[in-house]
């Protein structure tokens, strides 16, 4: 039994069901329409060298897994998640030396590149930048298409029951063990319950008296429609990025706002994002903004997700708290969860993600 219909919940359900388990998934809203839909879909942390090794381990595994996952989902559902390998350019970093040292330590292809070389690739780039780093091969996944493909795959899967618009209010306990859920449709029972409810995971665990340090962090994005090829690679400067989709759409983001569960788009953020977009790519000043939205990331300490069984409550499992990297970390996180639940050899050392010792009391 699984709570949460974002990419982490959907993919967890898909992998567990594909391993032969029967899965009931519960989502209080529409499947895949929260943070997983709202994000940018870069298949890399924005600044991977600024994260602990536990994040690097998951992101590196996921990067290699995504093309195959997209192919499988496309074959099953006819929806292509569009894993689009473009490379990524960073401009005028303050910690370039740290970035380069990190790339050597983990074997990543990251190197300085002259602005003249960059402009040969990205004619639309704005002026004023002095230094650049480049990582080839970095992809972005079209996240709304990814969650739609996962949704269709689960609806067609014989081992999966999908319960959409069915909120979960509490856990069913027997002798200290979690053995089910209290839902809008009544009490349901299961041997194991997985919480993958993103920014809402902490609220649910609070019903057990547990404090999960996961809180909503609002992020706003804007979308432009340009001609295909206008931007051939992801570009990032001053904390803001532009991501090209295959059909010419350009995503620009994102804000970081601690405003609770409010996800209302604001005019202030729109103006700020447009200014960043036009500094990166001046031609966007003449392009129409065709979308503006906000989502709620599941903020967590150091961005390290919680993956594994909760020792205080046997039968309760977590896969949540991915902060800004839910889309890039999802494949590895869900595979690791499956490994642990089925007693398989884990793809990475599970210790850094274990809930044990990381949860407090309400």
Could you read off the pLDDT of 68-111 as tens digits, one per residue?
A: 999 999 999 999 999 999 999 999 999 999 999 999 999 999 99
In angstroms and rounded to an integer, the radius of gyration of the C-alpha atoms of the chain is 20
Q: How many residues does the chain have?
A: 362
Rounded to whole angstroms, the Cα distance separating 299 from 306 reads 11
Q: Nearest 5 degrees, angle CA 222-CA 64-CA 298?
A: 45
Specify the pLDDT at position 121: 95
Specify the pLDDT at position 315: 98
Q: Nearest 5 degrees, angle CA 240-CA 293-CA 88?
A: 30
Specify the pLDDT at position 362: 86
Specify the pLDDT at position 200: 98
Low-confidence ranges of the chain (pLDDT < 70): none
The CA-to-CA distance between both ends of the chain, in Å, stands at: 25
The DSSP output letter for 357 is T
Check if the beta carbon of residue 360 is closer than 8 Å to that of residue 86: no
Rounded to whole angstroms, the Cα distance separating 143 from 162 reads 20
Domains and their CATH numbers in the chain: 2-77+143-214+301-361 (3.50.50.60), 88-136+216-299 (3.30.9.10)
The DSSP output letter for 321 is -
Locate 33 and state its tokens: 């329409």
- Residues near 88 by beta carbon (within 8 Å), at least 6 away in sequence: 42, 44, 134, 135, 138, 233, 234, 235, 236
For the whole model, what pTM was predicted? Answer: 0.97
């Amino acid at each position: 039994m699984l709570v949460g219909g974002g990419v982490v919940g959907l993919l967890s359900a898909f992998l567990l069901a594909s391993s032969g388990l029967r899965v009931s998934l519960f989502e209080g809203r529409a499947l895949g329409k929260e943070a997983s839909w709202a994000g940018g879909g870069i298949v890399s942390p924005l600044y991977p060298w600024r994260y602990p090794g536990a994040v690097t381990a998951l992101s590196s595994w996921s990067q290699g897994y995504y093309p195959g996952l997209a192919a499988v989902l496309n074959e099953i559902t006819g929806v292509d998640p569009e894993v689009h390998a473009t490379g990524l350019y960073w401009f005028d970093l303050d910690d370039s030396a740290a970035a380069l040292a990190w790339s050597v330590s983990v074997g990543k292809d990251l190197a300085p590149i002259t602005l003249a070389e960059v402009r040969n690739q990205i004619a639309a780039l704005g002026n004023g930048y002095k230094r650049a780093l480049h990582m080839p091969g970095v992809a972005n996944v079209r996240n709304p298409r990814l969650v739609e493909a996962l949704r269709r795959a689960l609806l067609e899967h014989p081992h999966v029951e999908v319960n959409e618009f069915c909120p979960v209010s509490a856990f069913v306990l027997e002798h200290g063990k979690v053995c089910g859920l209290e839902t809008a449709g009544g009490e349901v029972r299961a041997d194991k319950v997985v919480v993958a409810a993103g920014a809402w995971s902490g609220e649910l665990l609070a019903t057990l008296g547990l404090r999960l340090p996961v809180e909503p962090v609002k992020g706003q994005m804007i979308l432009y429609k340009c001609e295909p090829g206008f931007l051939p690679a992801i570009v990032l400067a001053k904390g803001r990025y532009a991501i090209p989709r295959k059909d010419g759409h350009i995503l620009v983001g994102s804000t970081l706002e601690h405003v609770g569960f409010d996800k209302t788009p604001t005019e202030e953020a729109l103006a700020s994002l447009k200014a960043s977009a036009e500094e990166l790519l001046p031609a966007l000043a003449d392009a129409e903004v065709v979308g503006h939205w906000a989502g709620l990331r599941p903020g967590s300490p150091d961005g390290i997700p919680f993956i594994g069984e909760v020792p205080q409550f046997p039968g309760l499992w977590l896969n949540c708290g991915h902060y800004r990297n839910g889309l890039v970390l999802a494949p590895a996180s869900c595979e690791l969860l499956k490994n642990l639940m089925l007693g398989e050899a884990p793809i990475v050392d599970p210790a850094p993600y274990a809930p044990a010792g990381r949860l407090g009391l309400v």
